[in-house]
Amino acid sequence: MIRLLVSVRDAEEALLAARGGADFIDLKEPGQGALGGLPVGAIGTIVAALRGAGCRLPVSATIGDIALGEGDEILRRVAAVAACGVNVVKVGIPREDGAAALLERLAACGHPVIPVFIADRGLDPATLAHALGLGFPGVMADTADKSAGCLFDAVSVLALSRFVTRARTAGTMVGLAGALRLKHLPRLAGLAPDFAGFRSALCAGARDGRLEPALLAGLVQALREVQAPSERASPSSSERMRASSPL
């Protein structure tokens, strides 16, 4: 069963997503790029609002789009975001020299991190294999330039299938995101990642607009319907996720 990750920018959107059927709440500032980070104070406020409302859904947060070479700043930001009470911190990993070294530092930082592989220039199997050997609770593929199209425009279905399969074989949770829309749900269902991230499809205008409850309700229903045949054929998938998810 693919679980739904919804990216939100404030407490109002977070509560809307939680009540509207999201499985993960992801905190980011969409106006600041693919992994735009919210101020640490805002992250803490959103987490407090969710927990105060009785929401126990897992919460992730991004650290912002920080250059790969700024390792010390990345680790400082990871620690600050983790201290806000989120379940996991997302860090972008572009396809550049130095990715392996940063992954090693992140794996040893003492905080739960999900590397987000930026797929605009494709996905590097060697870097993924290195990450999968470092014990991260999950991995994800996403795109940076949302104006250039969606994840399926940047990466072939075959390459994404290999990405998902390699992560699953390693026992690591795997997610896909990147300007995904309802029309992409059949391809997502075929790939069967553990979770899929959405923002653009849930805003009436640009992705930095407000989340629309009706669009969220439509996505939740469509995701449920597109998976119904495979869920009947393989009822153990959701059970496996409940057992293995660190979030």
**In 3D, which of 116, 190, 199 has the Cα closest to residue 158?**
190
Residue 206, judged by CB atoms within 10 A of its CB (0-12, 13-18, 19+), counts as: exposed
- Annotated catalytic residue, options 90, 146, 184, 199: 90
List the beta strands (DSSP E) in 3-151: 3-8, 24-27, 59-62, 88-93, 113-118, 138-142
Going by the DSSP 8-state scheme, the letter that residue 3 receives in this structure is E
Q: How many Cα neighbours within 13 Å face the side chain of 180?
A: 26
Residue type at 51? Answer: R
CA–chain centroid gap for 100, Å, is: 20
- Annotated catalytic residue, options 28, 77, 166, 184: 28
Is position 28 annotated as part of the catalytic site?
Answer: yes
Going by the DSSP 8-state scheme, the letter that residue 111 receives in this structure is S
User: Would you please indicate which residues are annotated as catalytic (active-site) residues?
Assistant: 28, 90
